[in-house]
Structure 1
Amino acid sequence: MTLSATVLAHAALWPFRAEDVDTFLVPWLDHIRAAGLIGAFATPFSNYTPPYLYLLALITPLGAVLTDLTLLKLLSVLGTIALSGAMWRLLTALDAPSPKRAAALALMLPSTLLNAPLLAQCDAMWAAACVMALAMAVEHRHASMLAWFGLAIAFKLQAAFFGPFVVALLLNRRVGFRLWLIAPATAFIALLPAWAAGWPIVDLLTIYVRQTSHFNLLSLNAPNPWIIIQALPGIQDLPMHALGMAIAIAGSVVYIAWLASRRVAPMPILPAALLAPLLVVSTLPRMHERYFFLADILAFALAMTMRSRASWSIAILCQAGSTLAILGYVADTQALSMLGAVAMIVATYRVTKLVTRPVDGGSAETHATIGCGTATRSVPTSGKPLSVNA
């Protein structure tokens, strides 16, 4: 039933052709066809880092039998399948009920449907790596966690939204600084094939720097407070970008300092991980409508783990916020993104409340601690917590 519904939803969204397809993705395909699978990387031809381009090059020969749009969306859907596998791995580590079913349902989330089969975007790829990093964090496999996080950064700069959680966790668990180098080393290794093919290393190392200078709006349909603020009269004359960056940096520092200090009382790891991308994307200017993608996925994982009214409300609010923003982008109206911002603000407040509240051993919620890596699921009928090793 789930598989049939997934196929039908993908088929319904497949014909849509987003502006980015013809502006960016198809020209990259054409370049790879013209220069060859290896020769294409001899010169810079994309504002994406190479890992996605490697995959694009590998499937380019299928263009002989598939249209460009189908080829691009097929690659994005493969990313959502990888995300589904990562979801299964995380929920298994958390000892959540029915991890396989939850992983299958992840393919039907509005966020995943609008991202891959509608927009042909690849956000599921870096998000899958972040989800795997979180699964490794639950199991105290810190080297693997950092390798997965480095891979996520190699795919997209948006993986940095997960960075405050990773840093806080490393500090919280007093992980040696030598292990910290695994993440940047992994990201650098991902660049080596393109460098070997001729792509200048300086250009490869500065792709993300150039990406940040492409847009100057406070919000590019992102459902965060900036979409509302930029609509106010006279706001363009104020240094709002600098203010937004300062708020985001301050918020991240406070988050890291607070979470890193929770060494005695157990800390719910999944809500804490979810709070990081919510806070960062909510406070940073120049965000796009898709940038809450990881928060959407982690909110769904939270709901499938806790199975409480509070967790489901958070998941629904996150999905509503992103869905409204993407529909606002498609319909070219910021009003929908503003409504989505309200949903995201409420979701962020509820997650903050969930993370900062004292952990009650008799609570009917699901808890996964940052300090010991165990999932504790309470039984509502008895009020006694059942500890399950993750």
Structure 2
Amino acid sequence: MKDYTKSNRLDNKITGLICDNWNKICIFALLVLSVYLRMLPGDALSGDATAKLIPWYEEIKSTGGFWGLDHEVGDYNMFYQFILAILTYIPLKPIYAIKLSSCVFDYLLAGAVSAIVFELTNKNKVNAYISLFIVLFSPLVWINSAWWAQCDAMYVSLCLWAIYFYIKEKYLACFVIYGFSFAFKLQGIFILPLFLFLYVYHKRYTILNYLAIPIMMMISAIPCVIAGRGKKSIIRVMTFYIFEAGIWKKMYLNYPSFWCLLRGENSEEFFEILKSPAIAFTVIILAVFMTYWFNKKIEVNAKNIVFMAFLLSYTCVLFLPAMHERYGFLFEILGIAIAFINKKTIIPLIAMNAMILALYGNYLILGVSATNLYALAWVNLLIYLFYVYILNKDMVNKK
């Protein structure tokens, strides 16, 4: 008769090891799957990658890699140009290298959401892990980085970490990280109203902390200075977005903003007429929110900080002129964290994601802007108003 004692001992050790580390194995398997998911788009090229990102990469590489930063390349800020320069030294196809840099920040983004959810849910590790993988497997996130090769995860991850450090009352770290987000995209400005409101209302930090923003932007220009662009690049990095803001001269750009409801001709003349009133209207709405929160004496806690960041950034994208479909990435990701503490927002979050995915699909698959922006603008406005009602009601409820 065969002796199964030894084999049983081995099996028991293997199964025991698996059972004891089941959660870790599942987490590792999901992380591997998330990496595989980002490999699937492969050589897929978006219009932005073909017309901008790859030509910028090739220009930097052909002019000396890092030393090719001695002149301005493209219309993204200097630190992104520095990242492209570093990527030229990686032995990968240009599109793979560019996508790799974006995908790395997906994990920094997911980590920020997980850390915020951990604080929002009384340090619940299960919720933190679930939120981590929701972000990593979110179609909006992996399409943005792995297919589109865009860098929205870069600035949004830094904005979310800034919010996290504010929640943890580490104000200097908050503004250092927030300032660094501007080295990637101007859209980090969408949560500046939050920090301005908290400065006046919360009174927990000095106005000198705001100096971290320009200082970090100047530091981000140092690689270009070393490469030979000159000290003027320090000034250039501070004024870069002033010139960028004037590029797009349409009230809406493949995003169902409030101004789609006017059904006017989306021309440059239409833009020049409505641009200033649209900005003023947005500022008024932001001021109404802040006045309401002042009068209601809302508590400044982790939950309310996240709610305010969501509402203020959503307001900016919905009502400001010249908004693209990717500009809502910040509040769309914040919506995931919010769903963990207010279950009523799950349905509008799904609806918002479906709407944005439709816009992404039009551009990436069909190569055109959405033709039904008027109808989608109504949907977007209703989602926004639902969030305004639900979140404000939650914020003023002391219980």
TM-score scaled to structure 2, two decimals?
0.82
1:231 shift after superposition: 4.9
**Which is richer in helix?**
2
Matched, 1:93 2:109: no
Q: What CA RMSD, in Å, does the superposition of the two structures yield over aligned residues?
A: 2.5
Whether the 8 Å contact between 1:168 and 1:257 is mirrored in structure 2 is no
Whether the 8 Å contact between 2:201 and 2:294 is mirrored in structure 1 is yes
Distance 2:345 2:102 in 1: 28
Distance 1:336 1:127 in 2: 28
Whether the 8 Å contact between 1:165 and 1:272 is mirrored in structure 2 is yes
| Residue in structure 1 matched with residue 145 of structure 2 by the alignment | 116
- Equivalent residue runs for 1:201-220 within 5 Å: 201=233, 202-220=235-253
Distance 1:229 1:294 in 2: 26
Pair 1:161–1:234, CA change in 2 (3 A): closer
Distance 2:162 2:381 in 1: 26
Number of residue pairs matched by the alignment = 358
Pair 1:196–1:254, CA change in 2 (3 A): farther
Distance 2:254 2:378 in 1: 13
| Residue in structure 2 matched with residue 370 of structure 1 by the alignment | none
Matched, 1:158 2:190: no
Matched, 1:254 2:288: yes
1:258 shift after superposition: 4.0
| Residue in structure 1 matched with residue 18 of structure 2 by the alignment | none
| Residue in structure 2 matched with residue 274 of structure 1 by the alignment | 310
Instruction: Give 3-state SS (helix, strand or coil) of 1:223's partner.
Output: coil
Superposed CA offset, 1:13-69 (max 9, x none)? 33321111122111211122122233122111121112222222222212x3x2221
* Structure 1 segments unaligned to the other structure (5+ residues): 363-390
Q: Decide which of 175, 178, 198 is 2:228's aligned counterpart.
A: 198
Q: Decide which of 109, 119, 126 is 2:155's aligned counterpart.
A: 126
Distance 2:110 2:276 in 1: 37
1:73 shift after superposition: 1.1
Q: Decide which of 6, 10, 13 is 2:41's aligned counterpart.
A: 13
Instruction: Give 3-state SS (helix, strand or coil) of 1:38's partner.
Output: helix
Instruction: Give 3-state SS (helix, strand or coil) of 1:334's partner.
Output: coil
- Equivalent residue runs for 1:303-382 within 5 Å: 303=339, 305-306=340-341, 308=343, 310-330=344-364, 331=366, 332-357=368-393, 359-360=396-397, 362=399
1:112 shift after superposition: 0.3
Distance 1:272 1:285 in 2: 21
| Residue in structure 1 matched with residue 85 of structure 2 by the alignment | 57
TM-score scaled to structure 1, two decimals?
0.83
| Residue in structure 1 matched with residue 279 of structure 2 by the alignment | 245
Indicate the larger mover: 122-131 or 132-141: 132-141
Distance 1:210 1:266 in 2: 36
Pair 1:264–1:316, CA change in 2 (3 A): closer
* Structure 2 segments unaligned to the other structure (5+ residues): 1-28
Distance 1:265 1:341 in 2: 33
Superposed CA offset, 1:271-327 (max 9, x none)? 111111100000011111101000110001111x3151x121232133123212222
Distance 2:61 2:115 in 1: 36
Distance 1:205 1:180 in 2: 14
Pair 1:262–1:171, CA change in 2 (3 A): farther
Superposed CA offset, 1:143-180 (max 9, x none)? 11111111111211011011111211222211321222
Q: Decide which of 178, 184, 191 is 2:208's aligned counterpart.
A: 178
Distance 2:269 2:218 in 1: 38
Distance 1:106 1:237 in 2: 38
Report the identity percentage: 22
Distance 1:264 1:67 in 2: 52
Distance 1:234 1:44 in 2: 30
